[in-house]
Structure 1
C-alpha cells in the first residue's frame, strides 16, 4: 500500500513531511483528549480536596507544560501514559517555585496560572519560548492586578507576579477570551466578595462547566430585556452574559475520562470532506456547543457532516461525528461566531480554496497574535499552491475552486498551519512538503499517523 505521509530529510537541514494526494479515507477512530479541558482539569484538580483521576488526558506538549509547572509548584501528580492521578490540597498550598515556570508554547498554561497563583503568598516568574514571549499578556494581568495581584516585573514574558489578598471585581472582557475569563474566575475563587466576568461575545465555557461539576456555586445569567423598548432591543442584541463566583471553601475531586479534542478531530473531518469517496466516524469526541461552530460552518458550506451527543461527562457533552466527501460552496464568516472557531479558521481558509465561489472571513485579527501570524501564514502558503487569496487586516477573501499545486509549505513552526496544509495537500496535484512537522506535537501528537491510518 502506498503511503500518503512520508518523512523525508533534506540534503541539508531538518526533516519535513511529504503529503501525497492519495485516498480514499475510511474508518472509525478516536482522537486524543481535549486540550482545553485537560489544562483546566489538571489545574482545578491541584486545588481540589483529595485525589482526582483523569483518563485520556491530552498528550499534547501544551498540556505537558501545565503538568510540569504544577509539579514545580509542589503538586503531587502520578502519570502513566495518558492516565493521571492528582492529589489536591486546596488553595494556598502551592510552594514557591525554585525556578521560573516555563510554559513553553502554551498561552493557556501561562494565562490560567496567573489566575491560579493570584492568591498565593509568593513571587513567581512565568516564561515561555520565543513564540509565547511575543504574545499579549497584559489582557490577563490587568484585571488580576485590579483584584490585588502584584506585578513585580511587567512586560511581555518573562514577567514576575506576587500573589496575596484578593478582592472580587466586576470585569467586562474587552476582547473575547476564554483564557482571560478563566484566569479571573480562578482568582475569584480565592477572593473576598463576588467576582463577576461579563462577556459581550460568548466564549468556550469549559471552566464554568467543570467548576459546576466540582460543586462550586457559580451563577451564570443574561439580563432580562423588554423588546418593546430601544434599551431592551439593544440588550438583546448585545447578548451580555454574566458569570459570577465567590470564594470557594473547597472543590470536590473528580474522576473523568477527558472527551476527544474537537479541534483535533476537525482536521480529520476536513480531510474526509475533501478526499473523494471518503467516509469516517470519530467517536467519544467533545461536542460542547461553544466548540461546534466549525461543524456548523461546514454544514453551511454543503459538507455532509453529522454529529450526535451520546453522553455527558462532568457537564461536557460527548458524542460521535460522521463525515463524508462533499462538494463545498463559499460562505462568509464574521461576527460573534469567530471566537468560537478561532483555532479552526486556518483550516476553513484551506477548505475555501476548493469551495465554489468566494469565501470571506473577517473579525479574526486575533489570528495575528497566535503561535504565528496565521493570517499572513495562510495567505503566503495558499498563494504558493496557486489559490487566489486577498489578505485582509482581519482575515481573507478566497476565490475557489482552485487547481492546487503541490509545493513546499512553510509551517512557521505553528501546529495548526502544519496540519491545515497537510489536509489540503491530500488533494493537490503533486506532493506537498510540510516544514517543521514536529510542531504538530503541540496539540495533536500522532496526527500524521491518524491520517495515514485512514487510507484504504
Structure 2
C-alpha cells in the first residue's frame, strides 16, 4: 500500500494504545517457562506479536487472543516439534530471545530469518553465545542459523552495547537452561525484562556502580574521586526460583510518545500535551530536545495507577546544531533517525557519533536515513560510526520508501507530516502494520488529509 501525505495541522494532546513492543515480546517468551496461565493485557498489537506467537506454537505454546489480552498456556510444558527447520519472520529482538530459548534447551534446530534482521548483528550475538559452549553456525548469505547439541558453560559477560538485546538474551538463556547469569553493563540499558522476571516470581538482583569520594590515605586533608570499576551495573539471575503464570499489563509505548513530541518540535509553533509518562527515557529525550533549542515547560506532575505523568508545553522556533556522542547517544540509541531529523533543521552542521551498532541491528539504517534526508533537501553524510548533517530551513515533501526497518520508516512518516508540501510514501504497510494505533491516533484527529492509493507492493 502506498500513501500520499500532506502536512499535519494540529496534533492530538495525548495518545492511547500503542503499547510496549519489547515488553510484549519478553512476556510472550517468558510465558514458555511459567506454571499456569499467563495473561498479557494491553499488548503491542503489531504484526510482530502474531509472528512470535505463531512461531512458538511449534514448541507447545497454546494461546487465545482478543483485542485486549492474550492468554498463554503450556499444557504439556516446553515440547519441540519433530521438525528441525523453522522460518522466523520477526525482528532482531525476539529472534535473539528465541535463539536463547532453543540453545538453553539444547534443541538441535535450524532457523531461517528475514532481511528485517541485520546479519552482522546476528554474528555479534552468536559470538557471545559460542563463548558459553553453545554449538552455533551462521550462514550470513542464506540467513540461516544452526544450533547443535552442546554443554553449556557458566554465563558471565561484560556488555558494552547500548541496546538491551544481548543482556535480555542472556537472561532468557539462563532461565531456559536453569543456569545462573552474571552480567556487567558498560551502559545502563532498560531493566524492563528484569522487572518482568521478578513479577513472574523469578529472582534477579542488580547493583549499580557509582563514583565514590574517598579520603586520601597519604594526606587526610585531601579527598579524591574513585572511578567506576569499568561497568555501570551488575546484574545477577538466580535460577532457583520457578516462574509462575500471572497477569502482566504492558505499559504504553514510550517510543510512540517520543515520536509525538518530536513531531511537535519539527512542526515548530506551540503545542500542549497531557498525561505524558514521566519516565527516565522520556526525561532523557526531553533533555535532548532542550539541547537543540526546544522550549519545554512541565505542568501538573502527578501519579496515576503507580505511573508518574506530566503535562507538557512545547515551543520551537530555531534549532541548534549538536555534536552528540558517548552516553548521550547510548541512552537514546533507538532514536537516531529522530536526532537526524532535528539536526536537519539546524542552520549549522551537526554530528552524531558512536552509532555503528544501530546500523548493525537495523541493516543499512544509517544509509537509508541519509538517502531520505537527501530527498528532503538535506545534505547528510555517513561515516564509519555516525552521521554528519548540514541543516536547512525547512523539510520539503518527498517520495519515501520502501523501507526495511520499521523504526526508520516511522521517522520519515513523522518527517512527511512535518514537511512542507506533499509526500508520497511507498510501502506504507511497514508503518501501518507496526505502529497502527499511532497512525490511527493521528488520523482520528481529522486535521490533516490523507489519500490512500490503490497500489500495493
TM range (shorter): 0.7 to 0.9
Match in the other structure for 1:415: 406
Question: Is 2:115 the partner of 1:122?
Answer: no
Question: Is 2:139 the partner of 1:155?
Answer: yes
**Pick from 329, 339, 355: which aligns with 1:338?**
329
Range with greater deviation from structure 2 (184-193 or 249-258): 184-193
Matches within 5 A, 1:2-13: none
Q: Look up the SS of the partner of 2:73 in the other structure.
A: strand
Preserved contact between residue 109 and residue 148 of structure 2 (Cα < 8 Å)? yes
Task: Measure how far apart 1:343 and its partner are.
Answer: 1.9
Q: Look up the SS of the partner of 1:243 in the other structure.
A: strand
Match in the other structure for 1:266: 258
Question: Per the alignment, do residues 35 and 334 of structure 1 end up closer, same or farther by CA in structure 2, a change over 3 Å counting?
Answer: same
Match in the other structure for 1:102: 87
Q: Look up the SS of the partner of 1:36 in the other structure.
A: helix
Range with greater deviation from structure 2 (183-192 or 103-112): 183-192
1:63-116 per-position Cα deviation (integer Å, ceiling 9, x unaligned): 2222122222111211112410112469x7232363634331411111011112
Preserved contact between residue 185 and residue 245 of structure 1 (Cα < 8 Å)? yes
**Pick from 289, 303, 317: which aligns with 1:310?**
303
Match in the other structure for 1:429: 420
Give the Cα separation in 1 of the matches to 2:103 and 2:305. Answer: 32
TM-score for the superposition, normalised by structure 2: 0.85
Preserved contact between residue 119 and residue 163 of structure 1 (Cα < 8 Å)? no
Structure 1 residue ranges without an equivalent (≥5)? 1-14
Preserved contact between residue 160 and residue 187 of structure 2 (Cα < 8 Å)? no
Match in the other structure for 1:16: 2
Match in the other structure for 1:178: 164
Preserved contact between residue 406 and residue 429 of structure 1 (Cα < 8 Å)? yes
Q: Look up the SS of the partner of 2:394 in the other structure.
A: coil
Give the Cα separation in 2 of the matches to 1:454 and 1:233. Answer: 53
1:286-306 per-position Cα deviation (integer Å, ceiling 9, x unaligned): x55356533331232233445
Preserved contact between residue 168 and residue 195 of structure 1 (Cα < 8 Å)? yes
Question: Is 2:38 the partner of 1:75?
Answer: no
Give the Cα separation in 1 of the matches to 2:202 and 2:349. Answer: 47
Match in the other structure for 2:442: 451
User: In the comparison of the two structures, how many residue pairs are matched?
Assistant: 435
1:105-146 per-position Cα deviation (integer Å, ceiling 9, x unaligned): 411111011112223243222222133263421322233333
Preserved contact between residue 104 and residue 174 of structure 2 (Cα < 8 Å)? no
Task: Measure how far apart 1:311 and its partner are.
Answer: 4.8
Match in the other structure for 2:429: 438
Give the Cα separation in 1 of the matches to 2:39 and 2:335. Answer: 30
Preserved contact between residue 415 and residue 441 of structure 1 (Cα < 8 Å)? no
Question: Per the alignment, do residues 346 and 234 of structure 1 end up closer, same or farther by CA in structure 2, a change over 3 Å counting?
Answer: farther
1:331-351 per-position Cα deviation (integer Å, ceiling 9, x unaligned): 222112323322211012112
Structure 2 residue ranges without an equivalent (≥5)? 217-223, 448-457
Q: Look up the SS of the partner of 2:228 in the other structure.
A: helix
Give the Cα separation in 1 of the matches to 2:389 and 2:204. Answer: 43
Preserved contact between residue 422 and residue 432 of structure 1 (Cα < 8 Å)? no
Match in the other structure for 1:202: 188
Task: Measure how far apart 1:33 and its partner are.
Answer: 1.1
**Pick from 282, 290, 293: which aligns with 1:299?**
290
**Pick from 370, 373, 380: which aligns with 1:379?**
370
Question: Per the alignment, do residues 77 and 22 of structure 1 end up closer, same or farther by CA in structure 2, a change over 3 Å counting?
Answer: closer
Task: Measure how far apart 1:167 and its partner are.
Answer: 3.6
TM-score for the superposition, normalised by structure 1: 0.85
Give the Cα separation in 2 of the matches to 1:142 and 1:312. Answer: 42
Question: Per the alignment, do residues 120 and 312 of structure 1 end up closer, same or farther by CA in structure 2, a change over 3 Å counting?
Answer: farther
Match in the other structure for 1:326: 316
Give the Cα separation in 1 of the matches to 2:305 and 2:204. Answer: 19
Preserved contact between residue 118 and residue 360 of structure 2 (Cα < 8 Å)? no
Range with greater deviation from structure 2 (400-409 or 341-350): 400-409
- Higher RCO (CA-CA < 8 Å; seq separation 6+): 2
